Amino acid sequence: MKSYFFIGLFFLLVSCGGTQVVYDYDQQANFSEYSSVAIYPEIRTGLSPLDEKRLLSSVENALREKNLYSSQNTDLYLNIYTEEYQEQSGSSLGVGVGGTGRNVGVGVSGGIPIGGPQTFLRLTFDLIDVETDALVWQAVVDSKFNFNASPEERQNRFDAIVEKALEGYPPKR
């Protein structure tokens, strides 16, 4: 019985709002031909200058780990743009009043939200073939983000987001 409890607790923790990533790619693209990636020259992430610097630092480190280096004759451009949105907390407190009497039932209930809205950041990573100017790979990452966090916490969050985004490159067919 205890094992069912721990299994249920595990699935509850895993399902609670982690970073979610969706990948898409061009099936005709030959990803083995791409060996270099550069940041899109006119990138506008939509983040503050300091957060943009943190994000680009995370991206450069992650690309180096994947042996994708920037060069003058780059194969791919990486463009990143962001969108901030809020969702209401899924937690609520239920209150109910009910009564019965001689085959008649009456009930009233309602939910009171607990906690305020949560801020999420959606980052879209586009890899564009420089030669054909075509989008060949994309990752869309949705993640909770605290804009009041310390600079170190923000850097760590960007590191985690970028790592999760680039897990899907190159795509496994």
Local confidence pLDDT in tens for the 173 residues of the chain:
555 444 444 444 444 457 899 999 999 999 999 989 999 988 999 999 999 999 999 999 999 998 888 777 899 999 999 999 988 766 666 666 666 666 656 566 666 666 678 899 999 999 999 999 999 999 999 999 999 999 999 999 999 999 999 999 999 86
95 in any annotated domain: no
* Residue 55: CATH number of its domain: 3.30.160.670
Within-domain flag for 7: no
Residue 41 lies in a domain: yes
User: Domain for residue 13, yes or no?
Assistant: no
**Residue carrying structure tokens 């990803």:** 31
Closest alpha carbon to 29 in 138, 104, 141: 138
Q: Is residue 46 part of a domain?
A: yes
Is 37:76 a contact under the CB 8 Å cutoff?
Answer: yes
Identify the DSSP state of 36.
B
